[in-house]
Amino acid sequence: MSSLPSVITRFAPSPTGRLHIGNIRTALHNWMWARKAGGRFLLRIDDTDAERSKEEHVAAIRADLAWLSLTFDGEARQSQRFDLYERRFAELIASGRVYRAYESQQELELRRKVQLGRGLPPIYDRAALALTDADHARLEADGIKPHWRFKLDHGAPIEWNDLIRGPQRFDPATMSDPVVRRADGSWLYLLPSVIDDIDLNITHVVRGEDHVSNTAAQLQMFDALGAAPPAFAHEALLTGSEGKLSKRMGSLGADHFRDAGIEPQAIVALLARLGTSDPVEPVADVAPLIESFDFARFGRAPARFDEGELAQINARIVHQLPFDAVADRLPSGLDAAAWEAIRPNLETVAGASLWWQVIEGPVAHNPEPEDGDFLIAAATLAETIDWSADPWRALTGALKDATGRKGRALFLPLRRALTGRDSGPDMATLLPLIGRERAIARLRG
């Protein structure tokens, strides 16, 4: 019998919408931790909400992970695991760890207000535990269906050593017994997630710090089901560039970044280290990022996500991309030599089309009056120089000797006439791509 990998992580999105940047970061860190350990990374589709879950979102989640090269080693869907949930739920009923309750939301809200008014914590008062069999029969005869709560053990404190937040301690007596199943029989998040983590042998759960209190309750569920819990790492949430939690963060998904020309390597490079003590670097190869990944490097302060920083990293990664990696996204005819020439001036791969237009033409240019004769002289000399070696050096050298111009006065009028722009790729590499005939025609205006 083969042993299980030492690390098994999972990414568990709900297919009720597209992945946003926070989801992507969670998926990435789970994937990196598994890959660093030579373990397994699983995708779990949390689609227990049949009304809101959509197959188109499931397909989009898979496509987004593929675009980011976050390959998963197995997939589970909660909607296909209801039999397992029923079996484990029956165990909890038998052991007295779940119980029926009947209060409506309005009743619970009124009780919370009363408790707050008395200076008490607004937690569930466990009134349902006092119901007799006759009470249950009467309520159900009245057509009131129960929801189910998990009964927390109020004995010892709930403690664990979080891989990011360090030692954690919760007093279960200050927590409400969580609802785990609705009156219509549908499941809430907490219990099915625990059952899945046990069944899939999950060793590490990496998620946002907004789940810390959920973890406290879930640790008792693991114990109630006779299983050792996984290790937990709760990451600080992302904030927007304005320094506070941003509603916009929820709309920044893989499709948004693709449309903006962001390379998946740029997203990985930024999110791999965002919130850590390590510098964010434009690393196109994920291997060193995986090697250095360590939860001990993460801080507890909110991690600031800045689209401007992402754009800068993207440009620096584009400057590293070889022709073969982008060839299928380039205009027809733009070859390796042209890519090498224009790549240092690009912010996105899509920007190559603009520079290809500069090379292919036509180029609009209205020379300054004082440059007219100079450009005519340039066109005449361009007809005589050797275009097989270094035409830019040959042309500018001949023009300098013929006109006495040098520096900006020599180079800028030529660049403007040849490209229609004041700046851009190195003219020594660009001019051979423009070619003799087009260059002469542009210089003559």
On average, the pLDDT of the chain sits at 93
- 295-324 pLDDT per residue, tens: 999 999 888 899 999 999 999 999 999 999
- 42-55 pLDDT per residue, tens: 999 999 988 889 99
- 418-432 pLDDT per residue, tens: 999 999 999 999 999
Overall average pLDDT of the 259-275 stretch:
96
CATH code reported for the domain at 83-234: 3.40.50.620
Say what the pLDDT of residue 120 is: 80
Structure tokens given for 329: 């996204």
Which ranges in the chain are annotated with CATH 1.10.10.350? Answer: 361-444
Say what the pLDDT of residue 1 is: 44
Distance separating alpha carbons of residues 323 and 326, to the nearest angstrom? 5
Say what the pLDDT of residue 348 is: 97
Overall average pLDDT of the 216-234 stretch:
98
Distance separating alpha carbons of residues 372 and 411, to the nearest angstrom? 14
Q: Indicate whether 244 pLDDT > 80.
A: no
Say what the pLDDT of residue 236 is: 92
406 appears as a binding residue in the annotation = no
Lowest mean pLDDT among 30-34, 143-147, 361-365, 401-405: 361-365
Which ranges in the chain are annotated with CATH 3.40.50.620? Answer: 1-74+236-320, 83-234
- 87-105 pLDDT per residue, tens: 999 999 999 999 999 999 8
Confidence of residue 2 (pLDDT cuts 50, 70, 90): low
Structure tokens given for 238: 């992302």
Say what the pLDDT of residue 242 is: 64
Q: From 344, 323, 333, select the one nearest 433 (Cα to Cα).
A: 333
Overall average pLDDT of the 377-383 stretch:
95
CATH code reported for the domain at 361-444: 1.10.10.350
Confidence of residue 76 (pLDDT cuts 50, 70, 90): very high
Of the chain, the percentage scoring pLDDT greater than 90 comes to: 85
Say what the pLDDT of residue 243 is: 58
Say what the pLDDT of residue 250 is: 65
Overall average pLDDT of the 320-346 stretch:
95
Fold of 1-74+236-320: Rossmann fold (3.40.50)
